Structures are given as structure tokens and as C-alpha cells.
């Protein structure tokens, strides 16, 4: 009896230490409070609240149509581009309410995005990566060279493209194009990178390369990634949020979501019983 108690106590202590460690080390980068989003009459997000930590990978999972992309787009106000979208609630990034500020350009510089399909411009690899910095007014050739090389290295694609920087980016394979898209995002020096199913159009080898890249990138960026691939979420993310019908059902350490989720609906989803 005494033994059992001491084992439990020991476990409790360990658990508390772990919790303390996590919350004290990482600071909250994005905090979302009671976010509701409507497409016209139709509500797509219901009272979504979540705290996303700095320099972690947060995965968003859930069945098709549950609001993952909609939620991701609220984080850099991409939904502003869609007619009839109404939002209430609050999204705070680095202490600033992003819907209070009018500087959407600055927000999108700070919070970059990578889409499902590579969307490079029909221009050279170099010009694709230099595009954003040039828009920001950087004209110095040496500085542009440095930014392009650094970004392509950061996206683990430099060695594959360094001898063809002047060639059309559209001549690259899909997996290479997606890594150049990531380089293009990195070139803007964002703090946060949003990725909406970045590997769903890629073959398994390119997918692994992008996954390795994401794991390496979290030392420098806060990453939020939508994925339909459970193994991918388990491999790349620190935290996972499970969405269902526009609500976050559960948000926790990825290891917990995949091994012992608290909610039956999460368990059903991660074990493939629905969705
Ligand atoms: N532009 C839009 N206008 C109206 N309704 C929309 C629009 N975009 C999304 N919706 C609706 O909002 C809900 C959430 O869609 P969303 O694209 O966010 O889902 P998702 O979780 O990303 O799905 P998937 O896994 O298929 O990409 C769906 O019911 C969808 O039909
Ligand atoms: Mg989507």
C-alpha cells in the first residue's frame, strides 16, 4: 500500500516537473481567444481558443471540412481576401491584436505561408526567392545573393539548385519546387510559417525531405502545419490540435494525442475509425 502511494507520488512529481519545464521554457507566440468565423450566414469556426508556443511545430488535424485551413488563414488574415467573411474574437501575436492593426503587409511579412501546391512564379529560381526582399526595397546585388543563398540553404535545396539559379523555377520537380516555396517564405525573415498540407502533392521521398526540413526549421521559426497524414503529424510536431466541425476538441502534446488522447472523438480519429 505504502509502495503504491510512493510510486504515484513519484509519478506526480515527475509529471509536475515536466509541465513546469515546458511552460517555463517556451513563450507563447500566438494566442487565440474565442475565435468565431462566418462565411456569410454559415459559421465555420466556433469559439476556438489556443496558445501556440514559440519555436515549436503545431499540427492541425481533423476530417475534411472541419475548418483547419480556415483557421490557419486567420493567423495572417488571408481570409480578409475572401468576400463575406466575418470574424469575432481575438488573435494576439507577440502581444499585438492582429485584427486591431491595419498593417496587414507587416503581418504577412511576419507570418509567412506555404500552400498545398507549389505556387512559384514563372521566373528564375533566384528571382522567385529574391521577389519578397526586392519588394521590401532591397536592391543591393550582394545582399540579394546572400539572402537567396541563405534561404535556399535554409530550405535544404541549395545543393540541388545552386548551378541553375537563373533557370526557370517551373523546371524543377514538385518536391524541389515546394522547398523553393519554403525558401521564398524564409527569405522574408518571418517569425511564423503557416503550412497548409505542404506535402500532399509530393511523392514519399520529397515528403520525407520536407518533413526533415520542418523538423530542422523549428529552431528558428514557429510553425503551424495542417496535415491529413497522421504519421506526419506524429513525426514533425510538438503539439497537435484536433479539429472537428469548426471546434478544437483537444489540444495537447503530440505524443499524448497519439497515445492516450482524453477525448473519445480524438481517439476515433487518430486510430482511423472516422474521417
Ligand atoms: N470561401 C469559402 N466560402 C464559403 N464557405 C467556405 C469557404 N471556404 C471554406 N468554407 C467552408 O468552411 C468549412 C471549413 O472549410 P476548410 O476549408 O477550412 O476545411 P478544412 O478542414 O481545411 O478541410 P480540408 O481538409 O478538406 O482541406 C467547410 O464547410 C467549407 O465548405
Ligand atoms: Mg484545408
* Ligand 1 atom at minimal distance to the Cα of residue 71: 18
Residue 263: which residues within 8 A CB-CB, separation 6 or more? 242, 249, 250
Taken as a whole, the chain contains a residue count of 275
Q: Is the shortest distance between the CB of 44 and ligand 1 below 6 Å? A: yes
Q: Is the shortest distance between the CB of 68 and ligand 1 below 6 Å? A: yes
Q: Is the shortest distance between the CB of 216 and ligand 1 below 6 Å? A: no
Task: State the distance from the centre of ligand 1 to the C-alpha of 243, rounded, in angstroms.
Answer: 12
Tell me the best of 35, 40, 43, 67 to mutate to test the pocket of ligand 1, counting ligand atoms within 8 Å of each CB and taking the most. 67
Say how far apart CA 180 and CA 172 lie, in whole Å.
9
Q: Is the shortest distance between the CB of 190 and ligand 1 below 6 Å? A: no
Say how far apart CA 187 and CA 174 lie, in whole Å.
20
Task: State the distance from the centre of ligand 2 to the C-alpha of 95, rounded, in angstroms.
Answer: 27
Say how far apart CA 176 and CA 179 lie, in whole Å.
5
Query: Going by CA atoms, what residue is nearest to atom 12 of ligand 1?
Result: 44
State the pLDDT at residue 275.
57
pTM across the whole model? 0.90
Contact 243, 234 (CB under 8 A): no
Phi (first) and psi of residue 30, to 5 degrees: -125, 130
Q: Is the shortest distance between the CB of 66 and ligand 1 below 6 Å? A: yes
Per-residue pLDDT of the chain (275 residues; tens, 9 = 90+): 344 444 444 444 444 444 444 445 789 999 999 999 999 999 999 999 999 999 999 999 999 999 999 999 999 999 999 999 999 999 999 999 999 988 999 999 999 999 999 999 999 999 999 999 999 999 999 999 999 999 999 999 999 999 999 999 999 999 999 999 999 999 999 999 999 999 998 889 989 989 999 999 999 999 999 999 999 999 999 999 999 999 999 999 999 999 999 999 999 999 988 75
Contact 153, 97 (CB under 8 A): no
Task: State the distance from the centre of ligand 2 to the C-alpha of 64, rounded, in angstroms.
Answer: 7
* Ligand 1 atom at minimal distance to the Cα of residue 66: 21
Query: Going by CA atoms, what residue is nearest to atom 25 of ligand 1?
Result: 64
Q: Is the shortest distance between the CB of 39 and ligand 1 below 6 Å? A: yes
Q: How many helices (H) and strands (E) does the chain have?
A: 11, 10
26-270 has which fold?
Rossmann fold (3.40.50)
Amino acid at each position: 500500500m505504502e509502495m503504491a502511494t510512493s510510486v504515484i507520488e513519484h509519478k506526480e512529481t515527475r509529471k509536475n516537473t515536466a509541465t513546469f519545464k515546458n511552460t517555463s521554457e517556451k513563450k507563447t507566440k500566438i494566442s487565440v481567444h474565442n475565435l468565431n468565423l462566418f462565411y456569410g450566414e454559415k459559421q465555420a469556426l466556433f469559439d476556438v481558443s489556443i496558445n501556440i508556443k514559440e519555436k515549436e511545430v503545431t499540427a492541425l488535424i481533423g476530417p475534411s471540412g472541419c475548418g483547419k485551413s480556415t483557421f490557419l488563414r486567420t493567423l495572417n488574415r488571408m481570409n480578409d481576401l475572401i468576400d463575406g467573411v466575418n470574424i469575432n474574437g481575438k488573435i494576439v501575436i507577440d502581444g499585438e491584436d492582429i485584427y486591431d492593426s491595419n498593417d496587414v503587409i507587416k503581418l504577412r511579412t511576419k507570418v509567412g505561408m506555404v500552400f498545398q501546391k507549389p505556387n512559384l512564379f514563372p521566373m528564375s529560381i533566384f528571382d522567385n526567392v529574391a521577389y519578397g526582399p526586392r519588394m521590401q526595397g532591397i536592391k543591393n546585388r550582394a545582399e540579394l545573393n546572400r539572402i537567396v543563398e541563405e534561404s535556399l540553404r535554409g530550405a535544404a535545396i541549395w545543393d540541388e539548385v545552386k548551378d541553375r539559379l537563373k533557370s526557370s523555377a517551373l523546371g524543377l520537380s514538385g518536391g524541389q519546387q515546394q522547398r523553393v516555396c519554403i525558401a521564398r517564405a524564409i527569405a522574408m525573415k518571418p517569425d511564423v510559417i503557416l503550412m497548409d498540407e505542404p506535402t500532399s502533392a509530393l511523392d514519399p521521398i520529397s515528403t520525407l525531405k520536407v518533413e526533415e526540413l520542418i523538423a530542422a526549421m523549428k529552431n528558428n521559426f514557429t510553425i503551424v502545419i495542417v496535415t491529413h497524414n497522421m504519421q506526419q503529424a506524429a513525426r514533425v510536431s510538438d503539439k497537435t490540435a484536433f479539429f472537428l466541425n469548426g471546434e478544437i476538441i483537444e489540444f495537447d502534446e503530440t505524443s499524448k494525442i497519439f497515445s492516450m488522447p482524453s477525448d473519445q472523438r480524438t481517439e476515433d480519429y487518430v486510430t482511423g475509425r472516422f474521417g
